[in-house]
Structure 1
């Protein structure tokens, strides 16, 4: 029974450790000549129990959802605010990327965000500052659903990045599994048997050199997702101030085509690796367009960007409204002078 529950709990975070609902004990039938009526209170309790069972059920992993054909929609968290992480999870994002590459936080701050996301049952992906074994080791020990590794430019670099996420002999990850959060501090006996299969490995391809090798990178065993990086790509091509340049768009479309074609051919060659396609929405290329073009994972927004937009709109609304209030106050003064108001 425990083995079947562990197999179903295909999640890299420790949220899979929430207890599964237990079967209710059988009770002897109650003898009565009168029909039994179900009270409203009993119905409410039953509904609450059902909701609790849903909450306690294992959270599907990102890998399993991608394999099932789901298109996943995510948010980038640069603020390192556990509150905003929790709100994002409750809003319904499929995953949240805690960004240690460009955000101000490190491992300690990321841990607080992971706890908030786990509590709200939303998978967390940690984006590392660089693709190196030290950062990968510390990040994986926190128990995220996946890692995002920046600036992968060759199949050799992709294979090395994958090795950072695996224990020897398949990789170089340091072993502290009996005491780290990823294994529930040693309480999860199944951790070693499933951690490498459950953890989503995302390689960012964000330079002209990486795009030239993208089909080979996507074919590296262990690379689950190839994540396009349009801003860095435009900078590497000499268009830092023009990420929507037609040459940048053409390079992105060609890279997309190669990854998506490899995914289509995977059915004919199931033993070969073919990574899923991930991307960032841009003002000139919104999230809906990425979805329509076949992306499997789409990051549509950044928490700071969402707050900035809402703050600017809020201030503008108040400033515009204050002018109307001023005009109304002037009209009231005129009415008072005309004798409509008593002294």
Structure 2
């Protein structure tokens, strides 16, 4: 819900489709706010991702938005929301905190500096790296492969990996990129890897289809030109032959 046009109703449709396929759903919020977190969590996703987390304070707030009082400030309507099966799941209040994956995105220079503190916050299960926003924050918009951006990425990665998930630390998650494939980031110790993006798959397929169509037109045009040339030669020969025939 951060960059796409969808909101809560669209997210619900996506969750239904994913659940029907036996796939876990993680919702990324538009911002780190209690209102968005409350509405998203009430839908019953298996995970929630907070964008642009830059400090321990930001991460602590994010976790508080996912917890009911006294552990947090999440508003309660658990008897009538989808997350508790509309109140039928009697054990929801006892299990909800263990069954939701809380992810915090580190995607700025400030966030990288505090990555270890963010990962150590109680309740933060996973730190998600954001290479595109990080490149923009460092002055290299749309150049996540820049040397300085990659250096900052590695610094943040090491900071998160030094925390032990078994002792309250966080797992490391990231997006596969053209310059930094899924195998590469997995090899650097990432626990969770986001692969292809659906929009990118559709776009690439459409662009490739148009490219093939255009190449077909070019080849067809070349073929027609060749045919016309052969036809012109045949025509010239034909008329020449007729003229020669006339003059005999």
TM range (shorter): 0.7 to 0.9
**Helix, strand or coil at the partner of 1:143:** coil
Question: Is residue 166 of structure 1 aligned with residue 67 of structure 2?
Answer: yes
- 1:189 Cα deviation after fit: 1.7
TM value normalised by structure 1: 0.64
Determine which structure has greater relative contact order: mean sequence separation of CA pairs < 8 Å that are 6+ residues apart, divided by chain length: 1
Q: 1:184 aligns with which of 85, 88, 104?
A: 85
**Helix, strand or coil at the partner of 1:314:** helix
Structure 2: gaps (5+ residues): 235-248
Q: 1:236 aligns with which of 110, 117, 137?
A: 137
- 1:261 Cα deviation after fit: 2.4
Q: Partner residue of 1:21? A: none
Structure 1 segment 76-155 matched on structure 2, within 5 A: 100-155=1-56
Q: Partner residue of 1:319? A: 214
User: RMSD of the TM alignment (CA)?
Assistant: 2.0
Q: Deviations over 1:272-291 (max 9, x none)?
A: 31100011122221222111
Q: Partner residue of 1:202? A: 103
Q: Partner residue of 2:181? A: 286
Q: Partner residue of 2:153? A: 252
Which structure's CA Rg is the greater one? 2
Q: Deviations over 1:110-164 (max 9, x none)?
A: 1111111111111110000111110000000000010000111111211111010
Query: 300-309 vs 159-168, which deviates more?
Result: 300-309
Q: Say whether the 8 Å CA contact 2:50–2:62 is kept in structure 1.
A: yes
Q: Partner residue of 2:242? A: none
- For these two proteins, the number of residue pairs brought into alignment is 234
In 1, Cα distance between equivalents of 2:143 and 2:102 = 30
In 1, Cα distance between equivalents of 2:145 and 2:22 = 36
In 2, Cα distance between equivalents of 1:194 and 1:332 = 74
Structure 1 segment 319-338 matched on structure 2, within 5 A: 319-328=214-223
- 1:243 Cα deviation after fit: 2.3
In 2, Cα distance between equivalents of 1:246 and 1:330 = 49
Q: Partner residue of 1:301? A: 196
Q: Say whether the 8 Å CA contact 2:132–2:142 is kept in structure 1.
A: no
Q: Deviations over 1:152-191 (max 9, x none)?
A: 1111211111010011111111111111111111122222
Q: Partner residue of 2:113? A: 212
TM value normalised by structure 2: 0.88
**Helix, strand or coil at the partner of 1:196:** coil
- 1:241 Cα deviation after fit: 4.3
In 2, Cα distance between equivalents of 1:210 and 1:216 = 10
Structure 1 segment 22-41 matched on structure 2, within 5 A: none
In 1, Cα distance between equivalents of 2:142 and 2:103 = 27
Q: Deviations over 1:184-237 (max 9, x none)?
A: 111222222211101000000111111111111101110000011111111212
**Helix, strand or coil at the partner of 1:197:** coil
- 1:292 Cα deviation after fit: 1.4
